[in-house]
Each structure stands twice: as C-alpha cells, then as structure tokens.
Structure 1
C-alpha cells in the first residue's frame, strides 16, 4: 500500500483549525472578561467543545477520501 497524502494534509488542516480557533476566541477575551464569571465559564466551556464538531468530517475524509457517510 502506498501512503495517502490525506493524513498529513488533514493533520496540518487540523492544526491550522486549532490555531485559527484559539486566535478567534482569544480576540474576544477582553469583551468576555468583562462579563460575570459564570457567563465567562459557560462561553469558554462551549467554545472548548464547539471547535471539535467540524473535525469529524475531516477525520472521515482522512480515512476514506470522502466526507459523506457510507450508505448501507
């Protein structure tokens, strides 16, 4: 089997996405920091989970070459 280019490309894409997400969220830190502590915690909790959602399709693409679920 020849190695697929999708895995290194996907890994670089994931790293780029993480960097983008961190920069995006931290750019709002001054605004979020002025909110009540519980609201801040909720925002950061949600932001800490939401970034993972698009990665499922990327991981599927890395393994199969398609972003669509296989049909049974």
Structure 2
C-alpha cells in the first residue's frame, strides 16, 4: 500500500489556513472595538465557523477520502 500524498499536503494547508484565519479574525475583531465579553463570543463563533462551516471540514474529508463533497 502506497502512502497518500494528500495527508502531508493537507496538513500544510491546514496550518497555513489557520494562520490566515487567525490573523483575519484578530484584525476584524480589533477593528470593532467591542467590550471584552463580546470579543470572547466573536472569537468562539469564528472558531466554530472555521471548523464546521468553512473549508476545514471539506479539507479533512479530502485528506481521508480524496473527494470534496458528499
């Protein structure tokens, strides 16, 4: 059985996308100048959006199965 090239590529993409997402999230939330408790809620929402609504779920599926959609 040959190892899949998708897993190492996917790992590098995940690290790069998390870095981009974190910088974008921090920049946007700092521009809002909201109270700390609202910032905390925004960070939690942004984290869940990243994991489930945006490309992370599809990227993990692609790494395992080689397909983007169900």
Bin for the TM-score computed over the shorter chain: 0.7 to 0.9
Which residue number corresponds to residue 64 of structure 2?
Answer: 63
Structure possessing the higher radius of gyration over alpha carbons: 1
- Residues 34-67 of structure 1 show CA distances to partners (whole Å, capped at 9, x for unaligned) of 2123322221111122111221111111111111
How many aligned positions are there?
A: 68
Please, which moves more after superposition, 18-27 or 46-55? 46-55
TM-score (ref. length: structure 2): 0.81
TM-score normalized by the length of structure 1: 0.79
Q: Which has the higher helix share?
A: 2
CA distance in 1, matches of 2:48, 2:26: 15
State the Cα RMSD in Å.
1.5
Could you tell which deviates more after superposition, 54-63 or 12-21? 54-63
Deviation at 1:10, TM superposition (A): 0.6
